[in-house]
Amino acid sequence: MLCKWGVNMQLSKIRIKNYRLLIDAELEVDPKTTLIVGRNNTAKTSCFSGIVNVIEGKPISFDDYPLLRRENFYTKIALFMEKKLSFEELRKQIDTISIDFLVDYSLDAPDDNLGTLAPFIIDVDVETTTALVRAEYCLKTDEKSLWSLLEDVYYRDGTFLSNEDAHTEARNVLSDNFGRLFGLAVYAIDPNNPENKQVKSQKELYDLFPFCIIPAERVLGEDDAHNSSLGSLISDFFDMSESDLDPTIAEEVKRLRKIVEKANIDVQKHSDEILSAVVNTSIGFGYPNIEELQLGVTTQLRIDDQIKNQTKLSYISGAANESLPSSYNGLGYKNLIKIEFLLAAFSKNIERNGIACVPLLFIEEPESHMHPQMQTAFATYLEKFINRLSTVKIQTILTSHSAHIANTMEFSKVRYAQKSNAGVIYKNLNTFAQANPDNVDFIRKYLTLTKCDLFFADKAIFVEGASERLLLPDMIEKCETAEVFGVGKYTLPAQYYALIEIGGAYAHKFIPFVDFLGVPCLILTDLDSVAESLGKNGKTVEKSVVVSRGTTTSNETIKWWVRRNKGLPENDKSVISLKDIIAMTLDDKTRDKCHIEFQTSENGLCGHSLEEAICNVNRKHYGLGDNISEDDLEFTGKSKTDFALKLIYEYGNYCIPEYIKSGLTWLNNQRVLE
């Protein structure tokens, strides 16, 4: 959608350096909606605060400076104070907080108005349609002031102090004065020649990016001290120009204003007459002399002030046709209503301004107080709602912890925040989609249908079916109790793992995806041993058999894994030998951050499903003796779900098959941060 100003301009990329966990993070911005998802503490809120702070020109604090950069900061300062580093070199070598904004624009005509973007276009190349804007917190103090601030810390009787006490005191001084040492500088940079840059004002940056931020902690009541209660938001429309309102609404507002104007005149007249009579009747104390002076009363009572200041949102019960205060309404609905009014007010303000700019809307955790279906509807209709509200293009950036919102959004709009020891980076899911066209449709549909929480997990476990899904949490707790994971503070039960029921036929489709996300992944699947035989039509068919009589597997994920280990193409049709599968070592079962496990031989036998493996290691409970064959392990029940539930409730002290313990131990030992 072209904006109303006749020039198409949009923010395409944001690069944040050295702000909290964002050491060098590049966020690709969608033309309409960008959704940032990820685990807790992956700098989603920091992304918003960093952008908003530079646009508003707010000072930074030492808490904003990343821990990973502080040691270098202290070292460079100490070298300067030791006179081993010049002040100019110090300015160059200190890691500074900076945010780059890349704005793409196109001109349909030579006389198109670039508006607030014009000051930031300094290149002379007519083919270039990208403007680079940088906001940077530079060392603003002068050499003398910095030296004066730290001289008493580093010097005693003219001797430089290199002891730890001096360094500790210096850190405290630098921390207390950090906001005074660094100041915001705004530059227009030639994208073809970064050395070519011009200093711009913070106001020019502010004018370029008008924004509205809707924080996660929204006050939803009617007594909001910040003047953003639902009632006050509604009353704001009373002050709007009729031209800024929807035509149908404008007509109603016009009618209301006529009623209010007449009411103001009537109230004013009658109030003045009555109150003047009351005042003059009350005179009896000799002053003022009624012969010299009569008193009159002019009231300042205005109906429109009452409308604007005393408007309260309520809702009406259809059955009783009675109104109740908004505070009686659910927080989810109030949250949604408040978001809508804030959006409407922001869009109308941009339209009234009428100057070409790049409006930005930040919404933090819109799912607050919303039930799952409401979250899905919000994600589905957000863009349509914004388009209906405004004739200008508003780019929206959201953060969310909601699987319902994350899985409803198109892949092209989702950015995954991945945290490592080197900081947080933003991964564009569209990059994965383009590289994996065969898998992406399936993954997208699966995430949408199941509302999978993979985007918010530290680790992932893919399982065959309902039995594993029901039993795995209980098995993990049993392993913890038995100290299978060892003694540690953050063993698997304390970690955020996603348990995903996918089946052996499809689990391998997710492997490239979890690799892309960088999430450690365990696949627990069934051996599914089969033997080939001739069918009635003379064609070769695969029949499920016990492991000892099997020649291969019907499990597509295991076959995919073996082909990868052997360097075979995915479309290779050669038979994967069951012996080769059973002979896989621990290393063979591990690929990067992904590990696969399936049934193994225990007590001399090997089941080819979870149920058979459980029966094998819990023979007494299932009435099986020591001298049995694999045929005796065959699962004949009608419901695997019933099998799992009965095991939990009738035999709480059951044994866990070794392949599951092995897989869970591997997953437990995987580091989330690298």
Q: Is the pLDDT of residue 227 over 50?
A: no
Q: What crossing angle do the helices spanning 303-310 and 247-281 adopt, rounded to 10°?
A: 120
For the chain, the C-alpha Rg in angstroms (whole number) is 34
pLDDT, residue 228, reads 46
Please provide the average confidence, as pLDDT, over all residues in the chain: 86
At residue 76, what are phi and psi to the nearest 5 degrees? -65, -40
pTM (2 d.p.):
0.84
Residues 129-177 pLDDT 10s: 999 999 999 999 999 999 999 999 999 999 999 888 888 999 999 999 9
The stretch 204-233 carries a mean pLDDT of 69
The stretch 534-551 carries a mean pLDDT of 85
pLDDT, residue 56, reads 96
- Are the CB atoms for 366 and 322 separated by under 8 Å? no
CA–CA gap between residue 601 and residue 630 (Å, rounded): 11
Give the rounded distance of the alpha carbon of 37 from its chain centre. 3
The stretch 113-119 carries a mean pLDDT of 90
pLDDT, residue 658, reads 97
pLDDT, residue 224, reads 44
The stretch 631-639 carries a mean pLDDT of 90
- Contacts with 195 (C-beta within 8 Å, 6 or more apart), sequence order: none
Residues 17-66 pLDDT 10s: 999 999 999 999 999 999 999 998 899 999 999 999 999 999 999 999 99
Q: What percent of the chain has pLDDT over 70?
A: 83
Beta-strand relationship, 211-214 and 360-364: parallel
Q: Which two tokens stand for residue 194?
A: 């970064």
Residue with tokens 């072209």: 2
Residue 649 burial (10 A CB sphere; 0-12, 13-18, 19+):
exposed
The stretch 171-187 carries a mean pLDDT of 95
Burial 603-635 (b: 16+ CB within 10 A, else e): eebbbbbbbbbbbbbbbeeeeeeeeeebebbee
CA–CA gap between residue 399 and residue 363 (Å, rounded): 7
